[in-house]
Chain A
């Protein structure tokens, strides 16, 4: 706990996530090289870059899927480097996946209830013997999950199997499940991938809404520049695993280096 010291930015806002010279090497390949993120409480931060730039690898480093070769990850000043994914989630980082990973054979509401698992305690013994605590906790699970589904306007689909939801709704459900774990930082990996313009617009509204409602910090990877330009406050651009540019969205998107990396000369 010695390392758990909260960090504050110059403007007095708490720094939620900070990475310190984050590097990972796969054999001879430096997939991520010296990435320094610093995201403040309540910010909506974008991570962009061409295909293969290492964006998802950064997510995997933040959530403990990979251990960094070098560098550290701090959440609210606490060192999370090398912790297992489940542990990282308990500490307060939740994520969605580029290729949707729902619990397909569970219903929509059960998916969210799985996300709530660490919020509501109930021992195995209590459940198996059906002590009164079980019924109480199950009711609480149901209520809380329904509440979250309502926020995402998925409550009418609650008894559908997750696999049977339309694509756009599956994306939303994945975010809902991540939010159910009560995170401090939400990582969204290409939330708008494969969506039509209407669905993208709906998604943008949802993201801004939950950000205001839960006052949560969001880091997202996205290729859809309309979404990035529309809702992100700050950006980091990755190219070949290194930081190409970072700063305010409008400045970064006007940067000739960034345009070059994306479109070519």
Chain B
């Protein structure tokens, strides 16, 4: 019985995401989905992929990486370039997208490997600075390319895929990301990765190949950031390197930290929430108030973090939290079920 419950629980996030996708698909098929909502969904899917992949490195491997936008940038530019080149011979088809994804993912993965190498020797702040530098270097390189290669400062023109339903493809890739990273975490390899986070010296002494797992973590994380980058290039008509600056990396890190280190579902929820919040703030604060957007955003983040951690609010938190709520609900359900049984 207990095992059965566990099983459903561990697949719940796939089911919910798939259900939401189908729900929105039905909406858009009946013509009730606004284009702006479809764009928001695309953005959410990309943020979820970025957050989940970064959470593998930050939350599970325990290494602070500030260059996640760099991997995304590599994916966006190289995948976008391949797509732009293939649009001629293959058309703006599904095949073009798949090839672009493969190329973007592999290139980002190679970068992940290169960043993983210093990660074996550097720790904490030093690694954070190295990854930060990596992100900036990648961005600067693409910014200074010529107009024919990657567009330089003007940006790289990329094809946009079948406007309306692209978010479905994005969410399918979210499911793929989840499937791979979650399965990795819930295996002996995931245990090894968490063991390295908890105590590297003990992990070595227990026969864990730390080098291998650190590289694996960085490569996997980079591959999915790269895929997210390719999707990003597909959602825009033009990829500009400016957006992949360190602020973007920090934003992804904020999502991961806010969702709770080492919690994939937390990352997903906070990615959705933050993307939504950003969008709503941009909608509400128009005109002169637009400059307040970042301020309000920051204030909300501060309130959330204080709410999550302040000792003074401990009692409140324990009373009204997600776990207590679900426990209450399941209790009610169980009570209802037993009552039904008695009646039967």
Contact = CB atoms under 8 A, between A and B. Distances in A.
Contact of B188 (A65, A105, A113): A113
B189 A124 contact: yes
A117 B208 contact: yes
A128 interface: yes
Contacts of B192: 114, 117
B216 interface: yes
A85 B198 contact: no
Interface in A157-181: 177-178, 181
Interface string B179-195: 01001100111111011
Interface stretch (B132-140, B199-207, B224-232): B199-207
Nearest to A103: B198
Interface in B158-201: 180, 183-184, 187-192, 194-195, 197-199, 201
B210 A103 contact: no
B208 A141 contact: no
B308 to A, nearest CB: 18
B199 A101 contact: yes
B206 A117 contact: yes
B207 A89 contact: yes
Interface string A113-141: 11101101010100111100010011001
B262 interface: yes
A140 to B, nearest CB: 10
Contact of A106 (B187, B198, B204, B207): B198
A130 B184 CA distance: 9
Contacts of B204: 84-86, 89
B205 A120 contact: no
A187 to B, nearest CB: 9
B208 A86 contact: yes
A90 interface: yes
B209 interface: yes
A235 interface: no
A120 B209 CA distance: 15
Contacts of A102: 198-199, 202
B188 A127 contact: yes
A86 B201 contact: no
Given A97-B202, A128-B184, A138-B188, A103 B195 contact: yes
A110 interface: yes
Q: Count chain A CB atoms within 10 A of each CB in B201, B203, B205 and give the residue with the most.
A: B205
Interface in A70-115: 84-86, 89-90, 94-95, 97, 101-106, 110, 113-115
A129 B204 CA distance: 27
Contacts of B207: 86, 89-90, 115, 117-118, 181
A110 B199 contact: no
Contacts of B208: 86, 114, 117
Given A101-B199, A104-B198, A95 B187 contact: no
Nearest to A126: B187
- Label chain B's interface by main secondary structure: helix
Contact of B194 (A89, A105, A118): A105
A7 to B, nearest CB: 24
A106 B7 CA distance: 20
B266 to A, nearest CB: 15
A118 B188 CA distance: 10
B231 to A, nearest CB: 21
A63 interface: yes
A147 to B, nearest CB: 17
A63 B197 CA distance: 21
B184 A114 contact: no
Contacts of B203: 103, 114
Nearest to A107: B191
B206 A106 contact: no
Q: Count chain A CB atoms within 10 A of each CB in B204, B209, B216 and give the residue with the most.
A: B204
Nearest to A187: B205
Given A104-B199, A105-B262, A120 B194 contact: no
B250 to A, nearest CB: 25
Interface in B45-79: none
A89 B188 contact: no
B205 A63 contact: yes
A105 B190 CA distance: 13
B194 A86 contact: no
Interface in A161-213: 177-178, 181
Contacts of A114: 191-192, 195, 203, 206, 208
Contacts of B180: 128
A51 B207 CA distance: 29
Contacts of B197: 105
A254 B3 CA distance: 59
B210 A86 contact: yes
A170 to B, nearest CB: 12
Given A105-B198, A113-B188, A114-B208, 18 more contacts: A86-B210, A102-B198, A103-B202, A103-B203, A104-B199, A106-B194, A106-B198, A114-B203, A117-B208, A122-B187, A124-B189, A128-B180, A128-B187, A129-B183, A130-B183, A134-B187, A141-B188, A181-B207
17 contacts: A63-B205, A65-B205, A86-B204, A89-B204, A89-B205, A89-B206, A101-B205, A102-B199, A102-B202, A103-B195, A105-B198, A106-B191, A114-B203, A117-B191, A127-B183, A127-B190, A134-B187
A-B pairs, 5 with minimum CB distance = A127-B187, A89-B207, A101-B202, A103-B198, A85-B204
